[in-house]
Amino acid sequence: MTDLDRLTEQAERDLAPLFAHVDRVAQKNTERVLDAFREERVSDAMFGASSGYGYDDRGRDALERIYARVFGAEAALVRHSIACGTHALTIGLFALLRPGDLLLSVAGKPYDTLDEVIGITGKPGCGSLRDFGVDYDKVDLLPDGTPDYAGIEAALKQHGDRVKVVFIQRSKGYLDRPTLTVGEIGELTAFVKARSGAVVMVDNCYGEFVEEREPTAVGADLIVGSLIKNPGGGIAECGGYLAGRRDLVELCSYRLTSPGEGGEIGATLGQNKPMYKGFFFAPHIVAQALKTAHFAAYIFSHLGFETEPAWDKPHADIIQVVRCGSPEIMVAFCRGLQMGSPVDSFVSCEPCQTPGYSDPVVMAAGAFTQGSSLELSADGPIRAPYLIYFQGGLTYESGKVGILSAARAVLRARGEA
């Protein structure tokens, strides 16, 4: 028995109480999803394909009502034609903001791929919010990762009625900070609403089904996410969603298609069934990913690395950060994880310039669906402090194999194996 074998046995003994908690949350969320399926009287006929305009697609419309029920929202827009999470967020931002308005991000800078959407970077004239006369400001989190309420209040006073959207990113993205819990988002939302008439919009990516509630259940006006992350359950092969207040979702539907037609059109082209099936499986698959994340934190913390969250702390999303300390260890981690993946295991990961990112990014993604963050994957920009953001695992068993493969590669890179 190797040292890693012994460490694995120890990890699973110590992690048993955390795994039990993850299973309890998955059970509650599964019950909520199943209730919604039954309330909407889901039938085989809803899985059929529509074409052309997609008028009167019962399956599409029922799925959107299911998302709304489960997420505690008035309405939802769930479409396979939404290309990615950034696309879904772009739909929401352009739907809600007008020339002269201001977008205020209150959890630090949003995820890197929104830089060009907002106009923080990119060429003038590319069609960013800034090109359309929408301004942007941000309030960083405090050093301990909690909201800076004094700073938020000052920004709201400074910009006044120009603040039309207050943006909260639930996950850490590529920042070195804790993920916000649903409870923290609820408190932050209440604080903003007591001082502003702005819409509170939450980037919910990586967070769905990690807790028993979503941000819309605690006051957020609009939440946005990707179907190749948590809510697609590893089965939906594309798509995104926006859920929240009915009037806001309608505006988003106008941005997705056209004013006046909105969500009434949009052929499903045979994608209904995988989106239904993925949402049904999502609470369980998210639980598998969370167990894999806890296991990764345990293994790498015992190999001498700092992890966030720590292995014995609860998660607010599926992301596990490992502080690698150097580009070489980042690359070794990704190469090892790739070797332990079911798809493209033979590929050697190399840092490269990637659309939407300002720094070279190294990624491991041996996934059945390209870019699926709910499947076993890891990535990070090659910049100090050299953090790897690990997420996913369709099954805990396969996730464990991938993590141990990454651990062996890191040990080799350190000359310890």
Tokens for 70, please give them: 């489960």
Task: With a cut of 50, list the residues of the chain below it in pLDDT.
Answer: none
Give the span between the Cα atoms of 54 and 56, in whole angstroms. Answer: 6
pLDDT of 354 = 78
| Tens-digit pLDDT profile for residues 148-163 | 999 999 999 999 999 9
The DSSP 8-state label assigned to residue 142 in this structure reads P
Give the span between the Cα atoms of 71 and 5, in whole angstroms. Answer: 40
Q: Where are the beta strands (DSSP E) in 109-180?
A: 135-138, 163-169
Give the span between the Cα atoms of 350 and 330, in whole angstroms. Answer: 10
- Cβ contact 96:199 at 8 Å: yes
Give the span between the Cα atoms of 76 and 82, in whole angstroms. Answer: 13
- Cβ contact 130:136 at 8 Å: yes
pLDDT of 416 = 84
- Other Cβ atoms less than 10 A from the Cβ of 216: the count is 26
Compute the chain's Rg from CA coordinates.
Answer: 21
Name the β-bridge partners of 166. 104, 200
| Tens-digit pLDDT profile for residues 4-61 | 999 999 999 999 999 999 999 999 999 999 999 999 999 999 999 999 999 999 999 9
Give the span between the Cα atoms of 313 and 173, in whole angstroms. Answer: 19
pLDDT of 323 = 96
417 contacts: CB under 8 Å, gap ≥ 6: 408, 411
**The amino acid at 100:** G
The secondary element (H helix, E strand) that includes residue 132 is none
CA distances from residue 289 to 23, 208, 316, 397 in whole angstroms, order as listed: 12, 12, 12, 10
The secondary element (H helix, E strand) that includes residue 390 is strand 387-391
Return the residue matching tokens 């920042």: 175
**The amino acid at 132:** F
Give the span between the Cα atoms of 7 and 105, in whole angstroms. Answer: 41
3-class DSSP assignment, residue 364: strand
121 contacts: CB under 8 Å, gap ≥ 6: 115, 358
Give the span between the Cα atoms of 228 and 173, in whole angstroms. Answer: 16
Q: What are phi and psi of 315, to 5 degrees?
A: -100, 150
CA distances from residue 229 to 100, 138, 201, 377 in whole angstroms, order as listed: 33, 26, 18, 11
DSSP 289-315: HHHHHHHHHHHHHHTT-EEES-TTS--
The DSSP 8-state label assigned to residue 324 in this structure reads -
| Tens-digit pLDDT profile for residues 105-141 | 999 999 989 999 999 998 899 999 999 999 999 999 9
Q: Which of 357, 295, 342 is nearest to 322 (CA)?
A: 295
The secondary element (H helix, E strand) that includes residue 355 is none
pLDDT of 316 = 96
